[in-house]
């Protein structure tokens, strides 16, 4: 069962979406359904065209098949992330192993969905990503001015500019990684289950996707922690979930 966190209120009207999919039937299906919802769809059927479009034009969202003629969806995602950390990216994959999913997230994808998939589920994912990349909910920061950085030990987070610094060095996070970190920052010391994080950060809750949270937590720790096996910031509460250690300064 999928639940959406106000994602149903998000419209696809005039959203510019790039679909890179070599299976013509799937590409046409996506173009038809998303186009009927008011989105402006551009469909590329190979990796060469997809890479050119993805890197040379602005998009509200990009949907990438992993296995493509020419550059793969992973290659395209990696190239896009070199210049654009904010555009939401969804990977379509017929692969089902945990390693394939982790690789997709590691190159900067915000979400993935395995084939065959239901159109309603994909639309829910799209709306959730667009909601997160658009207007954010009112923050619950420990200070009234969101332009001021939040400092937690050597970690500094700036919500408005979406910047993160660790010991003075800027840390590059994907849009989803920043959203996850910001959610913890807004609620320091509070424990969240994987299901809650899926619902509140991803904007949907789908049984079986808790490993998506695990993968993003691991990626955040790899970037923020001096020793990811003994984290200082995002810690595991065994049997419950995760929390941000409340050591604000």
**Counting Cβ atoms within 10 Å, is residue 35 exposed (0-12), middle (13-18) or buried (19+)?**
middle
Q: Are residues 55 and 108 in the same domain?
A: yes
Q: Note the Cα 39 to chain centre separation in Å.
A: 20
Range of the domain at 93: 2-133
- Return d(Cα 151, Cα 165) in angstroms, integer: 9
Please report, for the domain that includes residue 232, its CATH number: 1.10.10.10
Dihedrals φ, ψ of 217, to 5°?
A: -60, -45
Q: What per-residue confidence (pLDDT) applies to 180? A: 92
Whether 141 maps to a domain, the answer reads no
pLDDT level of residue 101 (50, 70, 90 thresholds): low
pLDDT digits (tens, 9 = 90+) for 142-199: 444 556 788 888 899 998 888 899 999 999 888 888 989 999 998 888 999 988 888 8
Please report, for the domain that includes residue 87, its CATH number: 3.40.50.2300
Q: Are residues 125 and 154 in the same domain?
A: no
Tokens linked to 99: 């390693």
Q: What per-residue confidence (pLDDT) applies to 191? A: 92
Q: Are residues 6 and 129 in the same domain?
A: yes
Cα separations in angstroms, 220 against 59, 76, 178, 201, 226: 25, 22, 9, 14, 11
Instruction: Work out how many domains the chain is built from and give that number.
Output: 2
Whether 192 maps to a domain, the answer reads yes
Say yes or no to pLDDT of 213 above 90.
no
Say yes or no to pLDDT of 141 above 90.
no
**Which residue shows structure tokens 């424990």?**
191
């Amino acid at each position: 069962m999928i639940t959406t966190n106000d994602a149903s209120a998000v419209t696809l009207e005039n959203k510019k979406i790039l679909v890179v999919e070599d299976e013509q039937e799937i590409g046409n299906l996506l173009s038809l359904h998303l186009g009927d919802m008011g989105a402006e769809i551009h469909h590329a059927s190979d990796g060469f065209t997809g890479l050119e479009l993805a890197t040379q034009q602005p998009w509200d969202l990009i949907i990438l098949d992993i296995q493509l003629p020419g550059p793969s969806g992973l290659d395209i995602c990696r190239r896009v992330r070199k210049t654009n950390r904010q555009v939401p990216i969804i990977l379509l994959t017929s692969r089902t192993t945990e390693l394939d999913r982790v690789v997709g997230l590691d190159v900067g994808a915000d979400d993935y969905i395995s084939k065959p998939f239901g159109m309603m589920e994909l639309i829910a994912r799209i709306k959730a990503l667009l909601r997160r990349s658009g207007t954010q909910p009112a923050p619950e920061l420990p200070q009234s001015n969101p332009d001021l950085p939040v400092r937690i030990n050597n970690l500094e987070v700036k919500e408005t500019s979406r910047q993160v610094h660790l010991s003075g060095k800027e840390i590059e996070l994907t849009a989803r990684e920043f959203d996850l970190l910001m959610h913890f920052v807004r609620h320091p010391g509070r424990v969240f289950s994987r299901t809650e994080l899926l619902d509140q950060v991803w904007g949907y809750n789908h049984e079986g996707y808790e490993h998506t949270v695990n993968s993003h937590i691991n990626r955040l720790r790899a970037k923020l922690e001096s020793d990811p096996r003994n984290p200082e910031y995002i810690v595991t509460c065994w049997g419950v979930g995760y929390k941000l250690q409340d050591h604000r300064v």
